[in-house]
């Protein structure tokens, strides 16, 4: 074909295009789903997830004395796999939305490890099983089973999340999470900060200045990233200056590919005792997923809520099947990532770095390199934000209900810390007698099942505050039944369930009866209220 023929062909093609495309129609370039803003998004999201894994590993190994190999090469890679699955799915949903709309400003939903569940699983499931049995592998299997149960519950709730959101008041859901946030997520890491203040206090100062004081960090880097790097630098420079090795031995890189396993089936009898954790946290993340989807829609990115919710459910099941012990969830902050200029690349890179990095052993090495005092301030900030949100997002007159939800969590914290202290002294609660034994039993009863207890107490008080004593009566009646089988207030050291007709302690029937009397009082108040209205 000669030059003249080429020009003729080009002119003919132009004429055909003009016939097919109406005049005045803009020809849009293919949407770009990776932008420079994805780097900032990646740094923020990846660091958040790495922080969760650092805390998971440090608490299990440092507090509950789990074998490092079990945590770093089974639990961490399995948990990270859920992040990979979810981030890949959210990346695909964003690219699909770009293709459907022709827009190039679509931002993927952020996704990662759920912080409140991490603490609930560590201090409410995995840690207590290890303390009660001394068997770390059994505790891991129970954690896997509960994580899978959470994923299955989320799968069902993804089709009914809107109904649950309408029925359960925010004070009950957010109040229970706020109690965990301030007493577990913020308080326990604060102990890590004060244990090594030279690292922890400067890190926390930088973090609070950046995230709450709105102080811009050098080169526009994320505040959390700058804070952790600064803390880790102080930690390792101090070690080099003093000649002392404060950090763990890093060892050689080691493959840790997470494979599906049915090992959790061996622990089903023990797992049943902790299933009360599954429903509240599955419900909270499903409702949070709906809220986050609405937040994304307000920012201009319309995702189907069911797609978002089913993704987090499938990712959680995948994590549990492959050795993970913490559920996954869409993160709050889609508008913030959009404001950074992030598109769909940041979730893709985060998923690969977290998931593949864990499988190659790189992530476990990084987890070992970061000192606890350098990452603990991030959790303090998260705890403060979640607690503030619980009060601000709930109706003002429900403030007392939010506060009431803190009480069972406080008992659980005291039991955890006292149990740890007794263990270091070579003692156990079995050594108590008299008033000390009674006090310990009371703390144990109040703390066991603290998540469901917090939801029920806050929901009941919210119903009273709204002038609905009949709802309060129904909730108290359910609490009576729950106490009879150990879903709440189990007197067993493991927090285990039991048959209603064979309670292990007399306190169980007393609690069930007390809730029953309280339910009757609320029912009579409702009847009197109706009588007044009729009159």
More confident residue, 115 or 509: 509
Q: Which long-range contacts (CB under 8 A, 24 or more apart) does 161-168 make?
A: 161/286, 161/287, 161/289, 161/290, 161/305, 161/309, 162/290, 162/305, 164/283, 164/286, 164/287, 165/287, 165/290, 168/283, 168/287, 168/455, 168/459
Residue 207 neighbours by CB under 8 Å, 6+ apart: 223, 224, 227, 377, 378, 381
Nearby residues of 492 by Cβ (< 8 Å), 6 or more positions away: 273, 448, 486, 498, 504
Question: Which of 9-18, 326-335, 356-365, 481-490 is least confident?
Answer: 9-18
Residues 388 and 449 in one domain: no
Residue 403: half-sphere exposure toward Cβ, Cα within 13 Å: 5
The answer as to whether 420 is a domain residue is no
Residue 254: pLDDT band with limits 50, 70, 90: confident
Average pLDDT, the chain: 83
Is residue 507 a part of any domain in this protein?
yes
Residues 372 and 448 in one domain: no
| pLDDT the model gives residue 164 | 66
* pTM (predicted TM-score): 0.71
Asked if 468 and 383 sit in the same domain, the reply is no
Q: 275-289, 301-315, 395-409, 435-449: which has the minimum mean pLDDT?
A: 275-289
Does 29 reside within a domain? Answer: no
Same domain, 459 and 356: no
Residue 9: pLDDT band by 50, 70, 90 thresholds? Answer: very low
Q: What total number of domains does the chain contain?
A: 2
pLDDT band of 74, cuts 50, 70, 90: very high
If asked whether residues 384 and 510 sit together in one domain, one would say no
Question: Which of 213-222, 231-240, 442-451 shows the lowest mean pLDDT across its residues?
Answer: 213-222
Structural domain includes residue 23: no
Residue bearing the bigger pLDDT, 511 or 123: 511
* Angle of helix 372-393 versus helix 197-211 axis, rounded to 10: 40
Task: Check whether residue 324 and residue 471 sit in a common domain.
Answer: no
Please give the DSSP secondary-structure letter assigned to residue 489.
S
Q: Is 2 helix (H, G, I), strand (E, B) or coil?
A: coil
58 neighbors 306 (Cβ within 8 angstroms): no
How many angstroms separate the first and last alpha carbons of the chain? 98
pLDDT at position 244, please?
65
- Which region among 297-301, 336-340, 469-473, 506-510 has the lowest average model confidence (pLDDT)? 336-340
Does residue 4 belong to any structural domain of this protein? no
Per-residue pLDDT band for 17 (boundaries 50, 70, 90) equals very low
Least confident of 60-74, 201-215, 277-291: 277-291
For residue 296, what pLDDT band results from cuts at 50, 70 and 90? confident
Nearest partner of 491 among 533, 534, 437, judged by Cα:
437
Within-domain flag for 27 = no
Q: Assess whether 452 and 363 both reside in one domain.
A: no
Give the closest residue to 458 by CA, choosing from 251, 157, 180. 180
Q: Could you tell me if 450 and 372 lie in one domain?
A: no
Could you tell me if 141 and 283 lie in one domain?
yes
pLDDT of 209: 92
Q: Which residues of 386-403 are buried (b: 16+ CB within 10 A; e: fewer)?
A: bbebbbeebeeebeebbb
Q: Which residues neighbour 13 within 8 Å (Cβ) at sequence distance 6 or greater? A: none
- Domain stop point among 334, 359, 394: 394
> Three-state DSSP class for 328?
strand
Kindly indicate the confidence band of residue 349, based on its pLDDT and cuts at 50, 70 and 90.
Answer: very high
Q: What is the number of helices (H) and of strands (E) in the chain?
A: 25, 2
Reported as a single tens digit per residue, the pLDDT across 461-520 is 999 999 999 999 999 999 999 999 888 898 987 677 788 888 888 899 999 999 999 999
* Res 14 pLDDT > 70: no
The pLDDT of residue 77 is 93
> Could you tell me if 218 and 352 lie in one domain?
yes
Of the given ranges (103-112, 161-170, 368-377), which has the lowest mean pLDDT?
Answer: 161-170
What is the distance between the alpha carbons of residues 412 and 306, in angstroms, rounded to a whole number? 34
Question: Is residue 23 pLDDT above 90, yes or no?
Answer: no
SS3 168: coil
Q: Do 207 and 294 reside in the same domain of the chain?
A: yes
Encode burial over 342-379: b for 16+ CB neighbours within 10 A, e otherwise: bbbbbbbbbbbbbbebbbbbebbbbbbebbbbbbbbbb
Plot region of 23 (φ>0 → left; ψ -120 to 50 → alpha; else → beta): beta
Two tokens, residue 19 = 């016939």
* pLDDT tens by residue, 146-198: 999 999 999 988 887 667 667 778 788 778 777 877 887 788 889 889 999 99
Tell whether 107 is covered by a domain: no
The better pLDDT of the pair 91, 9 is held by 91
Give the residue among 146, 82, 145, 95 at the shortest CA–CA distance from 120: 146
Residue 141 has pLDDT above 90, yes or no: yes
Domain region containing 353: 37-102+112-394
Averaged pLDDT, 417-424: 78
The H-or-E segment that residue 339 falls in is helix 334-339
**Residues 378 and 475 grouped into a single domain:** no
Q: What is the pLDDT of residue 348?
A: 94
Residue 279 has pLDDT above 80, yes or no: no
> Is position 76 within any domain?
yes
């Amino acid at each position: 074909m000669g030059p003249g023929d080429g020009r003729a062909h080009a002119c003919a093609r132009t004429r055909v295009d003009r016939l097919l495309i109406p005049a005045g129609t803009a020809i849009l370039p293919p949407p770009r789903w990776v932008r420079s803003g994805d780097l900032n998004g990646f740094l923020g999201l990846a660091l958040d997830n790495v922080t969760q894994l650092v805390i998971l590993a440090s608490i299990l190994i440092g507090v509950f004395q789990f074998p490092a190999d079990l945590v770093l090469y089974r639990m961490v890679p399995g948990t990270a796999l859920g992040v990979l699955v979810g981030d890949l799915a959210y990346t695909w949903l964003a690219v699909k939305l770009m293709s459907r709309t022709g827009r190039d400003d679509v931002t993927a939903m952020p996704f990662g490890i759920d912080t409140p569940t991490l603490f609930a699983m560590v201090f409410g499931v995995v840690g207590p099983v290890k303390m009660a049995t001394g068997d770390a592998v059994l505790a891991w299997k129970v954690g896997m089973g509960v994580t899978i149960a959470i994923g299955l519950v989320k799968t069902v709730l993804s089709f009914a999340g809107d109904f649950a959101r309408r029925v359960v008041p925010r004070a009950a859901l957010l109040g229970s999470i706020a109690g965990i946030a301030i007493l577990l997520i913020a308080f326990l890491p604060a102990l890590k900060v004060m244990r090594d203040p030279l690292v922890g206090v400067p890190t926390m100062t930088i973090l609070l200045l950046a995230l709450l004081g709105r102080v811009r960090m050098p080169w526009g880097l994320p505040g959390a990233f700058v804070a952790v790097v600064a803390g880790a630098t102080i930690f390792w420079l101090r070690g080099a200056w003093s000649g002392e090795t404060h950090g763990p031995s890093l060892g050689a890189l080691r493959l840790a590919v997470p494979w599906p396993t049915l090992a959790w089936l061996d622990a089903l009898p023990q797992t049943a005792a902790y299933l009360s954790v599954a429903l509240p946290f599955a419900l909270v993340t499903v409702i949070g997923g709906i809220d986050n989807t609405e937040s994304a829609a307000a920012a201009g990115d319309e995702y189907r809520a069911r797609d978002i919710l089913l993704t987090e459910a499938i990712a959680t099941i995948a994590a549990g099947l492959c050795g993970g012990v913490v559920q996954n969830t869409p993160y709050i902050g889609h508008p913030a990532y959009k404001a950074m200029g992030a598109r769909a690349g940041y979730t893709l890179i985060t998923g690969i770095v977290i998931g593949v990095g864990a499988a190659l052993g790189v992530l476990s090495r990084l987890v070992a390199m970061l000192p606890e005092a350098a990452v603990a301030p991030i959790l303090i900030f998260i705890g403060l934000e979640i607690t503030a949100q619980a009060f601000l997002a709930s109706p003002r007159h429900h403030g007392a209900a939010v506060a009431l939800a803190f009480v069972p969590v406080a008992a659980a914290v005291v039991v955890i810390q006292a149990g740890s202290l007794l263990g270091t002294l070579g003692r156990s609660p079995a050594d108590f007698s008299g008033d000390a034994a009674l006090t310990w039993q009371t703390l144990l009863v109040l703390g066991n099942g603290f998540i469901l207890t917090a939801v029920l107490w806050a929901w009941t008080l919210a119903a009273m505050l709204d002038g609905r004593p009949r709802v309060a009566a129904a909730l108290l009646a359910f609490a009576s039944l729950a106490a009879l089988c150990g879903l709440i207030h189990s007197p067993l050291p493991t927090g285990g369930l039991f048959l209603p007709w064979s309670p292990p302690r007399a306190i169980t029937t007393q609690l069930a009866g007390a809730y029953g009397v309280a339910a009757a009082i609320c029912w009579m108040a409702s009847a009197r209220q109706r009588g007044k209205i009729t009159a």
